[in-house]
A and B are shown apart, each in its own frame.
Chain A
């Protein structure tokens, strides 16, 4: 696969790993945060920690939109499917996320009409093909995915569709990064930046991290060579004592972002004053809601939802893992009460959540090492 296989070349990976070994000073302990859940997944899938020196620690950040979605919002979405006339649509990522009375898959097993879609356009198509049913799209994702929802809503409006709406749970990445930076126990010294979010928001958006907090950020692609090259770039900056934004993923990320995407988002969405992030608490101006001009397509206005806040058990230390203070296996519930099969907290719920990724890809390896 072009533009994929070249960036998985074993020889070049070993070379990049050697360069990292050379650049990383033996007497330092480095902590870099990869913001995006996709990077967490890539790091585990390609077992990149294995080729990094012991003194480079990768801290998993909050960029997993499924993980940070409060359970109460899942329940709200599921409540829509109680109406027999509603077809609730969602990405595959959402289907196993537990609400208080079960996950979407479990609700589907009990008869709710819940269907998995690959694109919001598939939900739109369902609405056109089923004019007598109400089709709702459960929208999640950061700025990578929000433009797709925006364009879909624009199309729905142009078509004058009367039976389509979106339950909007889009969140924005910058406030989450800021929350991490402002946290008193934060010890991360550089960031591996979210490559695909950046195709929309560009690289300029991260300059405040360097300017105000003195930490480098390298916008990174998702193949092994991308991540390793980003780490090389970070190490070089730390060595020089600089803190600036660099674009490792230049083949895909435009420095200024994607204008049509930002324009569509601005037309359809506005910022909520605040939104609750599971594990991080309330963050202001961190989530999108649908504008008044698109009110008829806003599921929150079209339907009534319970709107009940569900708090995680205190024993679940998701917040600390999200901020990089704890590693997954250091949470008391990890691997016991909380596993991918029965997740208690946010980070076990999605396969790219830090805890689920560690459980699925790495845990038993380290058990073996201990043996």
Chain B
């Protein structure tokens, strides 16, 4: 239903200029969206601060999402900006409880970009779309001056058919619900960091970019509306996604520190640089909150999907401490896992 901007919603965002932190997926991003974008644009946006919006159009239940892709370098071990663009949009729809069907995408190209690079990306997009089972039905292309656009920026919009078997909403999340994570975290963010070449670390790590739809589909098919909430933990990592869950659903989240899957290389890079794996971006994983009594079944269903073998229950929802995510150690202590302000920065101290 079309809505008009809520005239009484006030703009609370007071930062004088936009900084990199506002795009990092953490607290600053949330402040920008909640404090400026949502009040001005109004309506359903306020409810779907997450991924896809669910719309009723003439009797059809559709999920509708938009996304943008800005990455440097354009190609990296495991994929490229084209893969991210398709998979990222598909994943937004999947965790919105929809079957992804259709994409449009716009390319903003920097003058001087080689045609060969563009063609490689277009083939990557076509191939990712084919693997994900989505059709690309339109788009646009613009060229900007040399020095802008880091080579190429891609924006997308995607549509999916809402799966009626599931009704994800923060209001359905209950204390006792289990938290499922599809696989190891941090692969993408660390791969990108290393691929930039500024840190001089080498490893065999690859981005985990892929469609999570097959796993999500299997999950919904097996336990349906026992799935209360889903999110793909991209920028800001698992920590930011779960902090959003805790805030939106007004619950607490407790994770078992030693159950969180992290590849050795990601661990090594994070220890070396003083980074927290829970804050690092992922492009091929999802989180789901499942009713406790169906959690084992749900886990089995995801693990049965090729690529889902590493899925694991990492924690549960509690009623306290509210709006807080804790990580509990195996020796009986716990620490607060906060949402980042901006991008994670390596430290030496």
Contacts and interface: CB of A to CB of B under 8 A. Distances in A.
On whether the two chains bind one another, the answer is yes
B320 interface: yes
A1 B349 contact: no
Given A1-B268, A105-B19, A371-B321, A93 B348 contact: yes
Given A117-B198, A365-B321, 14 more contacts: A14-B332, A37-B349, A41-B349, A46-B335, A47-B333, A47-B334, A50-B333, A51-B332, A109-B19, A109-B20, A118-B199, A118-B200, A122-B200, A341-B28
A-B residue pairs, 3 tightest by C-beta: A368-B321, A47-B333, A50-B333
Given A38-B349, A96-B342, A109-B17, A14 B335 contact: no
A17 interface: yes
A118 B348 contact: yes
13 contacts: A10-B330, A46-B333, A47-B329, A91-B348, A92-B345, A92-B346, A116-B345, A118-B273, A141-B348, A362-B336, A363-B336, A364-B323, A365-B321
Contact of B321 (A64, A350, A367): A367
Interface of A: 1, 4, 10-11, 13-14, 17, 37-38, 41, 44-51, 64-66, 91-93, 95-96, 105-106, 108-110, 115-119, 122, 141, 145, 224, 340-341, 350-352, 360-365, 367-368, 371
A50 B332 contact: yes
Contacts of A95: 345
Contacts of B349: 37-38, 41, 64-66, 91, 93, 141, 350, 352
A351 B331 CA distance: 24
Nearest to A368: B321
Contacts of A41: 349
Interface string B43-71: 00000000000000000000000000000
Contacts of B20: 105, 108-109
Contact of A371 (B320, B332, B334): B320
A38 B321 CA distance: 27
Contacts of A44: 335
A269 B274 CA distance: 28
B296 interface: no
Nearest to A51: B333
B347 A364 contact: no
B249 to A, nearest CB: 16
Interface residues of B, number: 39
**Most chain A beta carbons < 10 A, residue from B21, B199, B264, B335:** B335
Main secondary structure of the interface of A (DSSP, over half): helix
B329 A145 contact: no
Interface of B: 17, 19-21, 27-28, 198-200, 252, 258, 264, 267-268, 271, 273-274, 320-324, 326, 329-336, 338, 341-342, 345-349
Contacts of B345: 92-93, 95-96, 116
A224 B333 CA distance: 11
B96 to A, nearest CB: 29
Given A10-B330, A340-B341, A1 B271 contact: yes
A278 to B, nearest CB: 15
A224 B349 CA distance: 17
Nearest to B22: A109
B335 to A, nearest CB: 4
B320 A51 contact: no
B335 A47 contact: yes
Given A109-B17, A118-B200, A1 B348 contact: no
Contacts of A38: 349
B256 to A, nearest CB: 12
A48 B333 contact: yes
A224 to B, nearest CB: 8
A98 B223 CA distance: 50
A93 B347 contact: yes
A31 to B, nearest CB: 21
B326 A365 contact: yes
A341 B332 CA distance: 30
B317 to A, nearest CB: 15
A371 B252 CA distance: 13
A362 B335 contact: yes
B46 to A, nearest CB: 23
Contact of A351 (B21, B198, B329, B347): B347
Nearest to A110: B17
Contacts of B341: 96, 340-341
A51 B331 contact: yes
Nearest to A366: B321
